Structure formats: C-alpha cells, structure tokens
Amino acid sequence: ALSIGIVGLPNVGKSTLFTALTKKGGLAANYPFATIDPNVGIVDVPDARLHELAKIVQPKRILPATVEFVDIAGLVKGANEGEGLGNQFLANIRETDAICEVVRYFKDPDVVHVDGRVDPASDAETIMTELVLADIQTLEKQVPKLEKEARRDRALGNKLDLARRLIAWLNEGNRAAALEMSAEERACAREFFLLTMKPMLYVANVDEDALGEELTPIAGVPPIPICAKVEAELSELEPHEAAEYLADLGLEHSGLETLAQAAYRLLGLQSYFTAGEQEVRAWTVRQGATAPEAAGVIHTDFQRGFIKAEVISYDDYVELGGEQGARAAGKLRMEGKDYVMVDGDVVHFRFNV
Ligand code: GDP
C-alpha cells in the first residue's frame, strides 16, 4: 500500500491523530492487522465509484485502495539527539512514499505550544530544518563506506560524488529533492532514502469550528484541514454513527480519508477496478502504468504471464449496466501489453501461468 510518514513538532496533535488511525472505528474495517504495529495506521481511500460498481455486481465485499500512515515522529527527535534508531523503525521510514507534517492551527490556550505561539509557517520551517539535518546525518554515515568501495568500483565513485554534492546542498538549508540532478542521479539519490527527497504534504490541525475555513498555504501548498480531536471521536464510533456525526459537521468524509485522497493525488496515483461476485476492488497504479504493470499489482505472476487485458471504461461499465451489457455494446476492449491504463478502467487480466 501507499505509505506516508507522519512528522511534526511536539504537542501539535500527532498522537491524537495516530490513536484515531490505529483504532478500528469506521475506518479500514478490512484490515485486521492494522492495530498490531502501534506505529502504523491504515486508512481507506474513499471512492464513490466503488459503490456504483457494487450496485451492479452485488459483490460479497468492497475493498477500497488504502494508504498506510507511519509514525516517524521519533525520527526527528532521534536525529537531533544522536540516538540510535531501531531497524524496524528505519525500515518503516525507508518504505514511506511521502511525508506528511502535522502543523498546529488549533488555538486552545490549555495546550502549550513548544515555542509559545501558534505560527504554522515557522513550525514548518523548524521541521524542515530537522528533516534536512536527519538527511545530512544519513549521508555522512554512508560516505566512509562509499569512499572505501569506490576505490574498487568506479560506478560507486559517482554515487560518492553525489553524496558529497547532496551534503553541501543540504548544508545550505535546501531539500534534497530541489537539487538539480539527471534522471540517473535522481535514481541513485533514491538509494540514500532521504526524507527530503520525498514529496511533502501538510495537515493543518484546526479547531473544530474552523474546519470549513480557508487556510494560508505553507511553502506554497494549501494544507489539508483536519481536526485531530474530531478524528479521535470518530474512531470511537460505529460506522453509521460516524457518518451521522460527519453529516452534522457538514462533511462527507473523515479528515483522515480526505488526507488519504490528497496523498493519492499528490503522488500521481490512480485506480483501476476488478469487479466480480466475490469482491469489487480498487487497485493502485501510478499514472501512465501499462496493462502488464497494472496486472503486476495484483500478482507478479499476472505480469510475467500477461497475455491481454479485457478493459471496460468505468463510464461504459456503469452506463451499460455491467460486463454483459458492455460486451453486447462492443465496449469491452482487448488491450495488449502497451496499453496505458486509464483511471477507473474495469479490468480482467488474461495470463499464462
Ligand atoms: P503530539 O505531541 O504531537 O503527539 O500531540 P498530542 O496528540 O499528544 O496532543 C497534544 C495536546 O493537544 C493533547 O492534550 C491533545 O488533547 C491536544 N489536542 C490535539 N489535537 C487537538 C485539537 O484538534 N484541538 C484541541 N483543542 N486540542 C488538541
């Protein structure tokens, strides 16, 4: 699943949000393992199309795409204090596709702000500095090893040069992602697992009565408003109660779901669907993925043995009342290995085993 690391200053509401994430409530009901690792929470990506497909197919279950949130709060703290980090913890961070910073907007005077005032832009800068420092540390740890290996292997010389260039760039207070790099260098830089190489999104933890208000952008990006307190309350409710509560607030989705959707967009992802009696399910691919790549998301065997894809566009599928109707109307297409997936395609893969 798509995975996102959560960071933020102390007292901004990360734990509150995380508790909401790892409680069952109405969220991600299909994931019994979601609560085993206290550092990981899973949220469904809401997609109304799944319900339209389900009306036609009447499946036993609906499986939406999911986003996994990983609490990496300890990372920033650890980097600062030079503490060693556990292997599992490091693995969690490496696997994250993006970083989400929780920024305090709620005013509550009873909750102390670490710097004594609520100032989102300045808080975001503080955290960015921490992420940059963590990356410098990551790189500096790898340099001695690279120096040794580069004596034997020329290719590693380039990697070493890149590491040094990145260190200098980060030392000027820049994000790694902003360094001008060739496609090859960028791929190489990814092997360092730097935090500031990852796309960044901001969550504004606002007061409940400020949920509808427009927010000042952070680093040029509009933050996604969430009220951690509301999310915590939602996570305690049964799904139908949660829906009612949201409706009272004038919202359709929980803040966590909205966040999951935003992350999906930020990362240039899209969905395709499989629809059968057992389940209607959304699968995640990057925009521009080919049919075999999409098949590989279900199973690597599907990709390896890919023959063709039977594709019906989402609109055709719904308009024509499902596969039979689409087939009769000539709207079921046979697509080969060069086909580029379109968001919402309803697909059957044919493959050799
Ligand atoms: P963390 O240090 O970032 O993990 O922050 P916590 O989740 O522990 O929250 C710090 C304090 O702020 C706690 O007392 C929370 O109850 C409170 N808090 C968190 N979110 C909200 C919110 O949306 N509104 C208000 N009023 N208080 C909040």
* CA distances for 325 relative to 227, 250, 317, 319, 328, angstroms: 44, 37, 8, 9, 5
Among protein residues, the one with the nearest Cα to ligand 1's atom 11 is 11
Among protein residues, the one with the nearest Cα to ligand 1's atom 19 is 13
* CA distances for 158 relative to 155, 164, 166, 177, 341, angstroms: 6, 10, 12, 18, 36
The neighbouring-strand residues paired with 218 are 221
Average predicted confidence (pLDDT) for the chain:
86
Cβ 112 under 6 angstroms from ligand 1: no
What is the position in ligand 1's atom list of the atom closest to the CA of 205? 23
Q: What is the pLDDT of residues 299-338, one digit of tens each?
A: 999 999 999 999 999 999 999 999 999 999 999 999 999 9
Cβ 193 under 6 angstroms from ligand 1: no
The neighbouring-strand residues paired with 280 are 62, 275
Dist. CA 179 → ligand 1 center (Å): 35
Which is it for the CA torsion 288, 290, 291, 295, positive or negative?
Answer: negative
Asked if ipTM goes beyond 0.90, one says: yes
- pLDDT reading at 75 higher than 80: no
CATH topology of domain 288-351: Ubiquitin-like (UB roll) (3.10.20)
Give the residue extent of every domain in the chain: 288-351
Q: What is the pLDDT of residues 180-207, one digit of tens each?
A: 999 999 999 999 989 899 999 999 999 9
So what's the pLDDT on residue 32?
41
The neighbouring-strand residues paired with 15 are none
Cβ 41 under 6 angstroms from ligand 1: no
Place of tokens 């509550």: 108
Cβ 26 under 6 angstroms from ligand 1: no
- pLDDT reading at 125 higher than 60: yes
Site to probe by mutation for ligand 1, drawn from 6, 9, 11 as the one with most ligand atoms within 8 Å of Cβ, is 11
- pLDDT reading at 73 higher than 70: no
So what's the pLDDT on residue 89?
60
